[in-house]
Amino acid sequence: MLKIRLQRIGKKSQPSYLIVIIDSRKPSNGQFLKKIGYFQPIQKKISLNLKEAYKYLLNGAQPTIKTYYLIKKQLITKS
pLDDT of residue 38: 95
pLDDT per position as a tens digit, 15-71: 999 999 999 998 878 899 999 999 999 999 999 999 999 999 999 999 999 999 999
Q: Which domain covers residue 11, as residue numbers?
A: 2-78
d(CA 19, CA 48): 8
Within 10 Å of residue 8's Cβ, how many Cβ atoms? 10
Asked if residues 36 and 48 have their Cβ atoms less than 8 Å apart, the reply is yes
Indicate which CATH number applies to the domain containing 51: 3.30.1320.10
- What value does the CA radius of gyration of the chain take, rounded to a whole number of Å? 12
State the Cα–Cα distance between residues 78 and 42, nearest whole angstrom: 21
Domains: count for the chain? 1
Instruction: Label residues 46-56 b or e (16+ Cβ within 10 Å = b).
Output: bebeeebbeeb
Q: pLDDT value at position 79?
A: 66
Of the listed ranges 3-12, 47-56, 69-78, the one predicted with least confidence:
69-78
Statement: residue 4 has pLDDT above 80? yes
